Amino acid sequence: MSVLSFFTWCENTSIGEAIRASLWLFPAIESFHLLALAVIGGAVLVVNLRLLGFGFQRQPVAQLWRDTRPWMLGSLSVMLVSGMLLFTSEAVKLYYHEAFWVKMTSLLLSILFTFTVHRKVALADEGRVRPFWSKMAALISILIWTGVGVGGRWIGFS
Amino acid sequence: MLAFCQWLESTRWSIALHESIWGYPIVESVHVLTLCLFLGLSVMLDLRLLGVTMLKTPVSEVLGRLLPWTIAGFIVMVITGSLLFYAIPVKTYLNIFFRLKLAFLLLAGLNVAVFHLTIYRKMAQWDLDPVPPFRARLAGGISLALWAGIVVAGRMIAYNWFDKAA
C-alpha cells in the first residue's frame, strides 16, 4: 500500500468524515492542539533555559527535567492525539503539502532527540557534561521543536 | 470605533500587510509560536502557584527566572497581535471572538494586578511552601482558565460564524 493510498484511507474513515462534516469540530480540536502547544513549549523551555544558563542554577537540571516531565508528556500526548484527528480530516491535502512533511520530519527528530541525547544531558550528574555540550543540546532542542511549530503553522497557509 | 477601524483599513500599510504573500503569514507564525515562550512559561509559573510542579523550587525563584521571559514574550505577542489586527481591522473588530479575547485579556491583567497587590506582598511567608496559600493558588487557577479562554477565542477569530455585516 502506498503512502498516498493510506492517507486516502485515513481521510475516508468515519472519524475523518465526521470532522469534515462538522462546523465546529475542527476548530475545537485545533484549540486543544494550541493549548497543548503552550504547555509543551513551557515545559521544554524551562529545561532548555536552565541548560543555556538562564536561571534556576541552584536546581539540578535533572530535577527540573523530572518536575516538567509529566507536563511535557501530557501535552505531547494531547498534541499527538489532536494532531492525528486534524490529520484524518484532510490527509490527502496534507500529502501534497510540503509544510506537513517538514513538520513530520522535525517532529520525528524532536522526539528522538528529546528522549535520547537531550534526556541524557539533562539527567547526567552535575559536571559530567561540559557546558558547551549542554548548551548545544538546548539549542538543538529549541531549533527542531521550533521547526515542528513553524511547519505546523505553515500548513494553514497554502 | 468602527469608523476608526475603517480608516485604519484604508491606510497603505494595512493594505500592504493584508495582501502580502509572506508578511502576514510570518507575523501570524511569530504570534502563534511566541505562545510557547509567553504562555508556556506563564503556565509553568501558574502551575508552581497551584503547587503542582517544581515544588522544591522557591516561588520567588520561579517568578524571578521566568517573568523576564514571559514579559519579553508578551511584548512580542502584543506587537504581532496588533499587526494582525492592523491588517484586518474592520472584520476583526466586528468578530465576537475578538471581543471575547479582549475581555479575557483585561480580566487576566486584573488578575495579575490583584495578585501583586495582595498575596504577593507577603510572599516571604510562603515562598518555600510546596503548596502556596489559597489566594496564590486562586490567582494561578484563574490565570490558567483565562489564558485558555484567550487562546481558544483567539483561534476562533479566524471563523466568521457570527460575523455581523460591516
Contact status, residue A148 vs residue A106, Cβ threshold 8 Å: yes
Using a CB-CB cut-off of 8 Å, the residues of chain A touching B36 are 37-38, 40-42, 44-45, 145, 149
Contact status, residue A110 vs residue A26, Cβ threshold 8 Å: no
Contact status, residue A27 vs residue B31, Cβ threshold 8 Å: no
Per-residue cell: A127: 559536571
CA–CA separation, B150 and B134 (whole Å): 24
* pLDDT of B64 strictly over 80: yes
CA–CA separation, B59 and B37 (whole Å): 19
Digit-coded pLDDT (tens) for A8-65: 999 999 999 999 999 889 999 999 999 999 999 999 998 898 888 887 777 888 888 8
Provide the pLDDT confidence category of residue A71 given band limits of 50, 70 and 90.
very high
CA angle B70, B66, A53 (to 5 degrees): 120
* pLDDT of B88 strictly over 90: yes
The whole-angstrom distance between A51's CA and the closest CA on chain B is 13
Contact B155 A154 (CB under 8 A): no
Digit-coded pLDDT (tens) for A99-134: 999 999 999 999 999 999 888 888 887 777 788 888
CA angle B97, A45, B111 (to 5 degrees): 45
Digit-coded pLDDT (tens) for B144-155: 999 999 999 999
Stretch B73-88: mean pLDDT, rounded? 95
Interface with A, mutate which of B26, B38, B54 (most A CBs under 10 A)? B54
Q: Tell me the average pLDDT of chain A.
A: 89
Stretch B92-99: mean pLDDT, rounded? 92
pLDDT at A158 (0 to 100): 67
Give the containing element (helix H, strand E) for A49: helix A25-52
Give the containing element (helix H, strand E) for B32: helix B23-35
Q: Which residue from A31, A41, A59 is facing B36, i.e. has the nearest CB?
A: A41
